[in-house]
Amino acid sequence: MAPLTWLITGCASGFGLELAYQLLARGDKVIATSRTRSKIVDLEKQGATIIEVDPTLPDGQVKSVVEAGIKEAGAIDVLVNNAAYMLSGANEVLTAEEWQSHFDVNVFGALRMLRTVLPHLRRHRSGTIVNMGSLSGWEGHPGSGAYNATKFAIAGISESLKLELAPFGIEVVCIEPGTFRTTFLSPEHRHSSSSKIEDYEALTNGMREALDAYHQTQVGDPVKGARVIIEAVTRTGPFSNKESLPARMTLGSDAAEAVRQKLRALSESHEMWSPLTSDTDW
């Protein structure tokens, strides 16, 4: 396979950074983005094209910066929408502004990148969109409703996009990781609400303590996780005999088991309640 050009958002840490390193090592081209250029200069030394872009800026500004990066790299074959953060806090506690800011990065930022990149992929009638979802897009958790909502949104967008882009030869997959030992849960990367409601303080404090304890004990290895993503997109390794990818694909043993349990619970609930709610036809 000829080298591919990947545009990856959120390359300062986590999966974005690991993907970039592995792709450069295998001879592919990488356009790496971050809000802060200084955090990805090492990738430039390794051969990546790096661009500083704030995904919350208006479409025109994002497009101008990203287009310059694509022009420098010469092409684009794969977009990895990876930039995201976790906002914790009970649904009632989070302010409207906090909800908006969270969606602006995790959802609208991804859509801005899509609107910039898709004209290139449609023109060539090929390419792949990788939207980084989460196990949190399958099940809600107390104290992280906003993050859950953004990842449910990414999953829904991905399913719709897959159907819309299939006629143009463009593949779409939403990768839904479980827990991996990245910096995602580190205190400096977590965001919490600036407001408080006394009734939720026990929940807030308990969640903070749980995340502190869980950080760096996650079961997933990001090096292995990134390798699986690359193999899936490039149809190498265990994916070599697969013609296409599903709209949604879990990543990690914990995610696989959690989704199995979720599907089982949904099926049982559906069978119990649908007989009571289905007699509504004309």
Which of 21, 85, 147, 214 is an active site residue?
147
85 is catalytic: no
Q: Return all residues near 23 (Cβ < 8 A) that are at least 6 apart.
A: 4, 6, 29, 30, 230
**Nearest-angstrom CA–CA distance, 117 and 104:** 18
Tokens of 255: 């995610």
Catalytic positions are 147
